[in-house]
Amino acid sequence: MTTVLVIDDSPSEMAKFREILTKNRFTILEATNGERGIELATEEVPDIILMDVVMPEMNGFQATRKISRNKSTAHIPIVIVSTKNQETDRVWGQRQGAKDYLTKPFTEGELLNAIKGVLPSRSSSQAQQPAKKQMREPVVQQKTNTPPTKNHTTASHTRSAPPAQTTKPSSTEQQTNQRKPSNGIYL
């Protein structure tokens, strides 16, 4: 069974999550603030995290960043579920490590689609626990590598250029060769 960690400080929103998730046979873990959510994510290692943004002390963006940068929890997909609906909020959430962003109020279908969209297929998630670690490593490497520079691209073109001619005639020799007839006699 898929375990969902819900991190939200609103009792009414938590009740809505609880109702939808239990009805659809998910196991639910609940945290009412970012710090407790990070602790539960580390201790229980859920299959997915649903994260509110507006919470006291540590907001959802901060908690998402901490979870997605921790080696033991970085593989857990995070869906931010928030009333903040600006494009900048979505972009910022993705930069912190969220895989998707859902705006409140949401329907049951929207929530289930968001969960399905970020979870690996059920058959492979149960059988391939080590695969999660393999998928995590390239993401960490991408974050630490510097992008290629323009000089790097130019250098690769320089390497493929033909070698310079070592016996290039001078301009005087070229003029002389142009006036020289085929019989070898100069005019």
The pLDDT score that the predictor gives to residue 120 is 80
| CA-closest candidate to residue 62, choices 102, 35, 32, 30 | 35
pLDDT top residue among 85 and 174: 85
Query: What distance separates the 2 farthest-apart alpha carbons in the chain?
Result: 105
pLDDT in tens, 57-115: 899 999 999 999 999 999 999 999 999 999 999 999 999 999 999 999 999 999 999 99
Q: What is the pTM of this model?
A: 0.65
The pLDDT score that the predictor gives to residue 114 is 97
User: What ranges do the domains of the chain cover?
Assistant: 3-128+135-144
Tell me if the domain spanning 3-128+135-144 has CATH number 2.40.30.20: no
The pLDDT score that the predictor gives to residue 122 is 53
pLDDT top residue among 150 and 102: 102
Q: What is the rounded CA–CA span in Å between residue 30 and residue 5? A: 6
